[in-house]
């Protein structure tokens, strides 16, 4: 059995969204293809198959003009392929301009030509203009017919215009072809503009770094720099890799990553991300992640792949288009040949009306504007620091009615400070702190980090070699050996689970209990603060139609209650293990779409279970970020409301396009059948609707305020 391989290809010379849908549909029928998606907006073919060569050969057979370039070769070949594409576009514009000029001459001098008895000159001018304008359409239609496909938009346009010529409606045949090609070119330009806007985000990817070596400063590509090496970033330059500042202070601009326009001060010890811009001072940074694992690389990958997975709406419209066109053609045939027989009317009149139906039957407005709408929504979200991992999550977000938050690191800063140390059973306060620090020093939980920092700041010193058997119990606490001592640090439930008798705490703060050799030594009272925009976020969620906001936390009940009261939450549940969170979440999600927002490892199971899982990306754990459907780059709960707003705007725009297309087509199909609409009006309606839908979709991308 052949190994399944996943690969991405850049697709050039594809300017028709229906062609893209046709390629995708027919490739999906090949044996051994597990997944295929041709992302027209991004010009990317995503393939997961046993035989990639078979898929590529089939794609080229379907559309011989397309070129497929593996994404990893794009750096060398993209520029080379850009010129032919521009040349073909210019050639089409020139041919269309000449055709339009001939058509204008025909219209202006038609009567003069007849009066001068220039036999058939008007027909020659009309046919010349027709062939110049429709050369690509005719060629594509012939290629399609050879394959036994008769319901392609090019075939329909050829049938409609040749039919018009057949009944001596030369002027209308030429007009239809010219307007159709004009509309196609305008659509292509609109889509290209949308692509450029999203590619502008991709250009934030740093392409050089200045490596500090023993022999001085050396310029290098970021992808060749290793963890632990030192780089220098000067004012005005992009930070090329994720790292920790060792020397220097600077204002950092994070707008490309997070959408936040106000620079923040970064100093030694602070973490910085690739893609941020160093504004005011030079920095020496120690690299903490390789380039392909950096924040900017993950963002680029998410944005690039986001539209590969189609929404239910997109899939429905693609399927609808495949059946809609044949039905309209069948109706047109009935109108052209059956109605005249039944009524005894003129065949020419009813054939003309049938041709009007064919002109307006093309579903381009639907097929192109819907994916472009989702594309725009994802692009806008990424500019605002909200990474949506797929178009289908836009739909899910727009339908969310309940939002559930984790507490620590999500609604609160997750930066704990030791407020008080209580010692019991013969242990001193210093001993309680030392044992707690010994157990927590190998953990990255915010409480663990705070205890370790507090112990160090008070002059404490641990013998690391004595620490062993460290075990992290997610949502409960940690255990470790420190020399001859067996240490446990955790919450109240963890002590009950281990049957350790302990002091009954009724505190309005977070508490870490400490036990040594199964004997209760005391507890450390911790303080955390709400994030500055947490209250504003709750109000914004209510304004966006969220009818229930809840909180699930492993912290004690008193602390949870205090936070819930401050934020006016609808409900809260405290002292939960990760499995408890999942069970409670199941109960909350019985009715309506529900989102969960978290940042820790213990949040990953609930994030995976939610209709929309949202992770805090700047400080969140890798497990939460990998599992999530949406990643917030600023760790701000206010971004949740922003994500909902973008999703609702995108969904609203998509449905505006659907309704617009259906209403206009229904009106003009009816007018065409009863003989009111001419072919001129039909082509204006078809092209105009497509252009309006495309313009409506692209406005999302350039929207600043939401």
Catalytic residue numbers read 406
Over 90: is that where the pLDDT of 640 sits?
yes
- Write out the two tokens for 684: 């204006």
- Write out the two tokens for 143: 């290629």
pTM: 0.69
What is the arithmetic mean of pLDDT over 56-79?
69
Q: CA 431 to CA 555: how far, in whole Å?
A: 24
* Tens digits of residue pLDDT in 681-691: 777 777 778 77
What is the arithmetic mean of pLDDT over 386-390?
82
Contact 515, 498 (CB under 8 A): yes
Pairing of strands 209-213, 44-49: unpaired
Indicate left, alpha or beta for 242 from its phi (over 0: left) and psi (-120 to 50: alpha): beta
Please check whether the two domains, 391-411+532-628 and 417-527, share a CATH topology: no
How far apart are the two ends of the chain, measured CA to CA in Å? Answer: 51
Please choose, from the candidates 181, 304, 289, the residue with its C-alpha nearest in 3D space to the C-alpha of residue 226.
289
Superfamily of chain region 391-411+532-628:
HAD superfamily/HAD-like (3.40.50.1000)
Which of 53-67, 93-107, 273-287 shows the lowest per-residue confidence on average (mean pLDDT)? 53-67
pLDDT for residue 642? 92
What CATH class has 209-298? mainly beta
In Å, how far are 474, 478, 483 from 470, measured between CA atoms? Answer: 13, 7, 12
- Residue 51 CB-density burial (10 A; 0-12 exposed, 13-18 middle, 19+ buried): middle
Q: 222 falls in which pLDDT band (50, 70, 90)?
A: confident
Which residue in the block uniquely carries the two structure tokens 């996943």? 6
Calculate the CA 265 to chain-centre distance: 30
Calculate the CA 73 to chain-centre distance: 23
Beta bridge partners of 250: 266
| DSSP state for residue 226 in the 8-state scheme | P
Q: Alpha helix (H) ranges present in 71-152?
A: 74-115, 121-146
Q: CA 282 to CA 268: how far, in whole Å?
A: 12
pLDDT for residue 26? 82
pLDDT for residue 286? 93
pLDDT for residue 79? 41
* Tens digits of residue pLDDT in 495-518: 888 888 876 654 556 788 999 888
In Å, how far are 505, 616, 619 from 414, measured between CA atoms? Answer: 21, 12, 9
For residue 20, report the phi and psi dihedrals to the nearest 5 degrees.
-60, -45
* Tens digits of residue pLDDT in 138-192: 887 887 777 776 666 777 778 888 888 888 888 888 888 887 787 777 766 666 6
Pick 480 or 167 by higher pLDDT. Answer: 480
Per DSSP, the three-state class of 553 is coil
Q: CA 240 to CA 222: how far, in whole Å?
A: 6
Q: CA 192 to CA 376: how far, in whole Å?
A: 12
Please choose, from the candidates 247, 429, 290, 315, the residue with its C-alpha nearest in 3D space to the C-alpha of residue 21.
315
Pick 574 or 360 by higher pLDDT. Answer: 574
Domain map (residue ranges) of the chain: 209-298, 391-411+532-628, 417-527
* Tens digits of residue pLDDT in 651-677: 999 889 888 888 888 888 888 888 888
Q: May I ask the CATH architecture of the domain 417-527?
A: 3-Layer(aba) Sandwich (3.40)
**Please, which residues have CB within 8 angstroms of residue 428's CB and are 6 or more apart in sequence?**
none
Q: Over pLDDT 70: what percentage of the chain?
A: 81
Per DSSP, the three-state class of 635 is coil
């Amino acid at each position: 059995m052949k190994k399944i391989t996943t690969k991405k290809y850049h697709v050039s010379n594809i300017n028709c969204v229906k062609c893209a849908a046709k390629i995708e549909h027919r490739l999906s029928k090949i044996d051994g293809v597990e997944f295929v998606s041709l992302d027209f907006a991004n010009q990317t073919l995503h393939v997961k198959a046993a035989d990639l060569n078979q898929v590529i050969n089939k794609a080229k057979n379907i559309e011989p003009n397309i070129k497929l370039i593996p994404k990893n070769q794009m750096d060398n070949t993209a520029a080379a392929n850009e010129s032919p594409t521009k040349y073909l576009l210019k050639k089409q514009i020139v041919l269309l301009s000449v055709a339009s000029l001939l058509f204008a001459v025909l219209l202006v001098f038609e009567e003069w030509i007849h009066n001068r008895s220039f036999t058939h000159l008007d027909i020659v001018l009309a046919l010349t203009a027709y062939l110049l304008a429709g050369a690509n359409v005719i060629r594509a239609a012939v290629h399609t017919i050879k394959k036994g496909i008769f319901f392609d938009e090019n075939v329909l346009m050829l049938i409609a215009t040749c039919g018009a010529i057949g009944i001596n409606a030369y002027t209308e045949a030429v007009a239809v072809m010219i307007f159709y090609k004009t509309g196609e070119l305008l659509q292509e330009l609109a889509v290209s503009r949308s692509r450029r806007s999203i590619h502008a985000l991709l250009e934030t990817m740093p392409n050089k770094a200045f490596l500090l070596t023993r022999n001085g400063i050396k310029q290098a590509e970021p992808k060749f720099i290793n963890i632990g090496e030192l780089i220098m970033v000067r004012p005005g330059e992009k930070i090329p890799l994720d790292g920790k500042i060792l020397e220097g202070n600077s204002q950092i601009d994070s707008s490309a990553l997070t959408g936040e326009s106000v620079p923040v001060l970064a100093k030694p010890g602070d973490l910085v991300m690739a893609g941020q811009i160093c504004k005011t001072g030079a920095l020496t940074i120690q690299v903490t992640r390789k380039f392909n694992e950096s924040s900017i690389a993950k963002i680029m990958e998410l944005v690039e792949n986001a539209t590969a997975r189609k929404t239910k709406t997109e899939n429905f419209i693609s399927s609808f288009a495949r059946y809609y066109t044949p039905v309209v053609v069948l109706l047109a045939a009935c109108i052209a040949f059956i109605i005249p027989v039944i009524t005894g009317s003129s065949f020419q009149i009813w054939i003309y009306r049938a041709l009007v139906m064919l002109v307006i039957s093309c579903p381009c407005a639907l097929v192109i504007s819907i994916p472009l709408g989702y594309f725009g929504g994802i692009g806008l979200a990424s500019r605002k620091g909200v990474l949506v991992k797929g178009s289908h999550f836009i739909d899910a977000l727009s339908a969310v009615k309940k939002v559930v938050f984790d507490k620590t690191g999500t609604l609160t800063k997750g930066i704990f400070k030791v407020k008080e140390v209580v010692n019991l059973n013969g242990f001193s306060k210093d001993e309680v702190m030392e044992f707690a620090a010994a157990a927590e020093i190998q953990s990255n939980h915010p409480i663990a980090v705070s205890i370790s920092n507090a112990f160090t700041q008070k002059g404490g010193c641990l013998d690391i070699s004595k620490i062993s058997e460290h075990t992290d119990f997610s949502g409960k606490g940690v255990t470790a050996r420190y020399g001859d001592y067996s240490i446990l640090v955790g919450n109240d439930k963890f002590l009950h689970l281990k049957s350790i008798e302990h002091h009954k705490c009724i505190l309005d703060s977070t508490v870490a209990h400490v036990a040594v050799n199964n004997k209760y030594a005391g507890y450390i009272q911790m303080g955390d603060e709400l994030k500055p925009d947490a209250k504003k976020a709750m109000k914004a969620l209510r304004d966006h139609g969220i009818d229930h906001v809840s909180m699930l936390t492993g912290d004690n009940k008193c602390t949870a209650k205090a936070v819930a009261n401050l934020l006016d939450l609808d409900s809260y549940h405290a002292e939960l293990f990760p499995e408890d969170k999942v069970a409670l979440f199941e109960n909350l999600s019985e009715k309506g779409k529900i989102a969960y927002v978290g940042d820790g490892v213990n949040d990953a199971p609930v994030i995976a279970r939610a209709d929309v899982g949202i992770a805090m990306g700047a400080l969140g754990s890798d497990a939460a970020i990998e599992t999530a459907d949406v990643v917030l780059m600023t760790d701000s709960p206010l971004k949740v409301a922003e994500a909902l707003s973008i999703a609702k705007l995108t969904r609203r725009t998509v449905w505006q396009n659907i309704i617009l297309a259906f209403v206009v087509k229904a009106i003009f199909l009816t007018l065409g059948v009863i003989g009111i609409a001419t072919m001129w009006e039909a082509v204006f309606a078809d092209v105009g609707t497509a252009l309006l839908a495309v313009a409506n979709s692209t406005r999302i991308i350039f929207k600043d305020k939401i």
